[in-house]
Amino acid sequence: MTNKKKATIKDIANVLNISPAAVSKALHDDSRISTKTKEAVKKVAKDLNYQPNHLASALRKGKSHLVGVIVPRTNSNFFSSVIQNIEEVLNKEGYNIIITQSNESYKKECNNIDTLLFTQVDGIIASMANETIDLEYYKKVKSKGIPLILFDRGENDLNVDYIGINDYDSSHMIVEHLVKQGCKRIAHIGGYKHTRIFNNRIRGYVDALKKYDLPLDNELLIESSLTIKDGREKMLQLLSLKNRPDAVYVAGDYAALGALQILNEQHINMPKDMALVGFGNEPFTSMVTPTISSINQHSAEIGKLAAKTFLEHAKKATIKQSLNKIILDAELIVRDSSSIIKK
Amino acid sequence: MTNKKKATIKDIANVLNISPAAVSKALHDDSRISTKTKEAVKKVAKDLNYQPNHLASALRKGKSHLVGVIVPRTNSNFFSSVIQNIEEVLNKEGYNIIITQSNESYKKECNNIDTLLFTQVDGIIASMANETIDLEYYKKVKSKGIPLILFDRGENDLNVDYIGINDYDSSHMIVEHLVKQGCKRIAHIGGYKHTRIFNNRIRGYVDALKKYDLPLDNELLIESSLTIKDGREKMLQLLSLKNRPDAVYVAGDYAALGALQILNEQHINMPKDMALVGFGNEPFTSMVTPTISSINQHSAEIGKLAAKTFLEHAKKATIKQSLNKIILDAELIVRDSSSIIKK
């Protein structure tokens, strides 16, 4: 750290009484500059402790060394941990990242894509907004030959690299765990059906119920925006049923937290009278009372793999043809909210 | 939402068999284009449902309509709530934001500033990294005539707009509250002294102790990085003292959470044997046991005011001369961790 003003190409030019363009050419070993001038320029550059501006240099080479990241929101531990890990891997390779959030809005996501294209990013790593059905903007990224890597929330139709966890199997693990705890009426507060990951979780839930000969009751399967507020509302809806469930599997931890608040407010014993399982392993799941069982989505690994996939593209002159489709196995972390049978 | 491919200037040019440049000039009412051609171009543009690319148009006018935001990290409710509110205000006025995080690193913050300047942002709204002492990079932003607004963590020396809360008074409020609860040895796990806001909190703590004739004991005033991990370590340090404190005021909620974990693990009764107050009102403070008293930093208002301050600059042709220095009064939210005297 120094407070001294940085030397510029202009400073070097002034010392030698030549043009800044000549200095720049000399520093890049341009054949139009004499060896004598090159040596003089390099000596002055060293004397003035001149540091080249890497971004300007990158731009000349047609690379911004910027990677754009689009997430539904930053205030989720899952997304901020993915971002953190993308950043760690890319920083080491000389890339900076810029982050935009869609707030689950399709329109905002389109704006974000335009913004990132405008800033000349070398690649985009994205997780889609809940609202997004139309893939036009993502196709625009592809058509420009800019590497696009999706994580967590992606779409098969786009045919791009994808990193995520096995959502279908995660639901199976959760239902199996609840069945072993003795639960017989298992409800699912799920995400939007049109979003692939939530659809997979719903399919996993339905198939697991069939496997264990449990009733598939339409009133126990509820679509939700998965906010805390909506988790509260959907839990109230389940409690108002004539034939209440004895377990609730919520497809997101924030909505699970809302459900937990309602259960606590109504003094319903967890897990004895209502077992609860969330999804995402947000840090608060181990802080609340009772602690909430949840699925660990391996955010760190997802972030690292997404960054590495981008780097594979960046190192190739042309877009690489084979795609990475990486599906990680998730892990169920059992906590108090669903531990009916003590070991 | 439509899947139909958007019409481009090239499409209009093809229909009329003229050059794209001529179409662009016609759409901008350039005097070099005949009235007849202009009318033909505008009719075809309407027929094809042509939508101009606003970003490209903004760039021609020398405005990107992008605002860069720099935060120490996104996975803090305070920072993500500020970002959310900046975004809401600026989106309405046609601006998009791009977010970068410093991870408390000076070097990364410098890279972020370079990145944002490179992407031609119209302004920067920032909260400084813990490590930042050298203001060279922020001065570079100022020297380029780009509006710079600091929030929460700023520096008087920079002489730019600033929005924050009254940290000095907040410490006073906390110490006064603890004194009223009967506490006599109040410790402070503070942030880095060189960071203005943390310095103000330390000064407020010291002056409040004097006001209430409490001992200012050097072993009770500890500098910390304010992470969960460091909060744990500093709490252990306080517990190892021969003459233990009976209250701890921690300058950040994450470190307060670490302190709470240690106190719970060691079965120390809160608030009777140790009262605890945090800072920032992170959502988890009302989820843990016991709930943690904390300072509400008015993140929503700070975000809105920062965005409005930027807009004041943007609406003026030249940088406005008078500065906004907005210091909001904070609010102490008393919870179980420091409620010794029940009302």
- Asked if A114 lies within 8 A of B283 by C-beta distance, the reply is no
Beta-carbon count within 10 A of A107 CB: 14
SS3 label, residue B145: coil
Question: CB contacts < 8 Å between A and B, how many?
Answer: 105
* Residue B1 covered by a domain: no
Residues B304, B324: Cα–Cα separation, whole Å: 13
| Whether A183 and A281 share a structural domain | yes
What residues of chain A have any CB closer than 8 angstroms to a CB in chain B? 1-3, 5-6, 53, 55, 59, 64, 66, 73-75, 77, 80-81, 83-84, 87, 91, 96-101, 103, 106, 108, 111-112, 114-115, 118-120, 133-134, 136, 257, 283-284, 287-289
Q: How is A32-81 classified by DSSP, letter by letter?
A: TS-HHHHHHHHHHHHHTT----HHHHHHHTT---EEEEEES-SSSHHHHH
Quick check: is B92 in a domain?
yes
Distance from CA of B188 to the nearest CA of A (A): 24
Q: Which residue of B has its CA nearest to A78?
A: B75
Are residues B115 and A55, on separate chains, in Cβ contact within 8 Å?
A: yes
Q: For chain B, what is the domain count?
A: 3
Helix (H) or strand (E) holding B221: strand B221-223
User: Does residue B181 sit in the same domain as residue B286?
Assistant: yes
- Cβ distance A283 to B288 less than 8 Å, yes or no, reads no
DSSP string, B300-321: HHHHHHHHHHHHHHHHSSS--S
Q: Which residue has the tokens 């043009």?
A: A19
Phi, then psi, of B282 in degrees rounded to 5: -60, 145
Chain B residue at shortest CA distance from A264: B287
- Give chain A's count of helices (H) and strands (E): 12, 12
In a domain, B176, yes or no: yes
Average pLDDT for chain A: 89
Write out pLDDT tens, residues A100-143.
Answer: 999 888 999 999 999 998 888 999 999 998 888 888 889 888 88
Nearest by CB to A115, which of B80, B83, B96? Answer: B96
B186 and B239 fall within a common domain = yes
For residue A85, the chain B residue with the least C-alpha distance is B103
Regarding whether A193 and A306 lie in a shared domain, the answer is no
For a pLDDT cut of 70, what percent of chain A falls above it? Answer: 92
Q: Which positions in chain B touch A284 (Cβ < 8 Å)?
A: 283-284, 287
Distance from CA of A297 to the nearest CA of B (A): 17
- Cα–Cα distance, A114 to A132 (Å, whole number): 15
Report yes or no on B56 lying in a domain: no
B14-27 core/surface letters (b: 16 or more CB in 10 A; e: else): ebeebeeebbbbbb
CB-based contact A136 B96, cutoff 8 Å? no
Other Cβ atoms less than 10 A from the Cβ of A253: the count is 28
Nearest Cβ partner of A287 from B1, B96, B288?
B288
Task: Tell me if A307 sits within 8 A of A122, measured CB to CB.
Answer: no
| pLDDT, position A76 | 85
Chain B residue with minimum CA distance to A1: B134
The verdict on whether omega for the bond into residue A290 sits within 30 degrees of 0, i.e. cis, is: yes
How far does the CA of residue A201 sit from the closest CA of chain B (Å)? 26
Q: Is residue A290 part of a domain?
A: yes
* pTM to 2 decimal places: 0.77
What ipTM, to 2 d.p.? 0.73
Average pLDDT over residues A14-31: 86
Helices marked H in chain B: 9-16, 20-27, 35-47, 54-60, 77-92, 106-118, 136-143, 167-180, 196-211, 228-239, 253-265, 299-315
Both A203 and A179 in a single domain? yes
| Burial call A73-87: b when 16+ CB within 10 Å, e when fewer | bbbbbbbbbbbbbbb
Q: What is chain A's alpha carbon radius of gyration, rounded to the nearest angstrom?
A: 26
Residues of A in contact with B288 (CB under 8 A): 287-288
> Tokens 């190739």 correspond to what residue?
A316
Instruction: Indicate the residue of B77, B118, B284 with minimum beta-carbon distance to A75.
Output: B77
Q: How far is B3 from chain A (nearest CA, A)?
A: 6
* Closest residue to A74, CB basis, from B55, B80, B118: B80
Chain B residues in contact with A81 by the CB 8 A cut-off are: 75
Testing the interface with A: which of B54, B60, B98, B116 to mutate, by most A Cβ within 10 A? B98
Say if B190 falls within a structural domain: yes
pLDDT score recorded for residue A204: 97
What stretches in chain B show pLDDT beneath 70? 1-6, 51-62, 317-322, 342-343
Range with the lowest mean pLDDT among A19-28, A133-142, A163-172, B311-320? B311-320
Inter-chain CB proximity B100 and A99 less than 8 Å: yes
At residue A305 the predicted structure's pLDDT band, cuts being 50, 70 and 90, is: very high
Range of the domain at B197: 167-297
Which residue among B2, B99, B289 places its CB closest to the CB of A74? B99
With beta carbons under 8 A apart, name residues in chain A contacting B73: 80
Residue A2 confidence (pLDDT) above 50: no
**CA nearest neighbour of B174 among B334, B18, B288, B22:** B334
Rounded distance between C-alpha atoms, residue A340 and residue A295, angstroms: 18
Which chain B residue's Cα is nearest to A131? B1
Mapped onto helix, strand or coil, the DSSP state of residue B123 is strand
| Predicted local confidence at residue A172, as pLDDT | 96
Whether residue B59 is contained in a domain is answered as: no
Rounded to whole angstroms, the Cα distance separating A44 from A10 reads 12
Instruction: Please check whether residues B151 and B257 belong to one and the same domain.
Output: no
Tens-digit pLDDT profile for residues A245-300: 999 999 999 999 999 999 999 999 999 999 999 999 988 898 888 999 999 999 99
Given B3, B59, B83, which is nearest A74 (Cβ)? B83
Helix (H, G, I), strand (E, B) or coil at B101: strand
Domain identity same for B293 and B306:
no
Q: Please state the three-class secondary structure of B316-335 as a single string.
A: CCCCCCCCCEEEECCEEECC
DSSP A285: G
Token output for A155: 């779409």
User: Is the residue at A335 inside a domain?
Assistant: no
- Please state, for a pLDDT cut of 90, what percent of chain A lies above it: 60
Q: What is the pLDDT of residue A3?
A: 34
> In A, which residues are within 8 Å of B91 by CB distance?
108
Beta bridge partners, B28, equal none
**B89 and B154 together in one domain:** yes
Say whether both A182 and A221 belong to one domain.
Answer: yes
- Partner residue facing A96 (CB), from B84, B111, B289: B111
Nearest CA distance, A200 vs chain B (angstrom): 25
Distance from CA of B50 to the nearest CA of A (A): 16
Same domain, B177 and B267: yes
Residue A4 has pLDDT above 60, yes or no: no
pLDDT digits (tens, 9 = 90+) for B214-235: 988 999 999 999 999 999 999 9
Cα-based distances in Å from A305 to A92, A162, A169, A298: 14, 9, 20, 11
Residue B113 has which token pair? Answer: 């500033």
Q: Which residues contact A278 (CB under 8 A, 6 or more apart)?
A: A250, A252, A253, A255, A256, A257, A285, A292, A293, A294, A295
Q: Which residues pair with A161 in a beta bridge?
A: A149
Instruction: Using an 8 Å CB-CB cutoff, list chain A residues near B114.
Output: 53, 55
Q: Does the beta-carbon distance from B119 to A98 stay under 8 Å?
A: yes
Q: Do A115 and B98 touch (CB under 8 A)?
A: yes
The 3-state DSSP class for residue A177 equals: helix
Residues B91 and B189 in one domain: no
Q: Which pLDDT belongs to residue B61?
A: 60
Report, in angstroms and rounded to the nearest whole number, the Rg of chain B calculated over CA atoms: 27
Mutation site, A5, A60, A287, A288, interface B, largest B CB count within 10 A = A287
Q: Is the dihedral of CA B75, B81, B86, B89 positive or negative?
A: positive
Tally of CB atoms within 10 A around B102:
24
Nearest to B174, CA basis, from B132, B216, B136, B208: B208
> Are A148 and A186 part of one and the same domain?
no
Find chain A residues with C-beta within 8 A of B112's C-beta.
Answer: 96
Beta-carbon separation of A115 and B66 below 8 A: yes
Q: Which of residues A47 and B317 earns the better pLDDT score?
A: A47
Q: Which of B74, B114, B115 sits opposite A83 (nearest CB)?
A: B74
Q: What is the CATH number of the domain that holds B233?
A: 3.40.50.2300
Contacts of B115 (CB under 8 A, 6+ apart): A55, A66, A96, A98, B68, B100
Determine the pLDDT at residue B27.
Answer: 83
A99 and B103 within 8 Å at the Cβ level: the answer is no
Answer yes or no: do A1 and B87 touch at CB < 8 A: no
Chain A residues with CB under 8 Å of B100 CB are 96-99
Which residues in chain B have Cβ-Cβ distances shorter than 8 Å to A136?
A: 2-3
> Which chain B residues are within 8 Å of A77, Cβ to Cβ?
75
Q: How confident is the model at residue A317 (pLDDT cuts 50, 70, 90)?
A: low
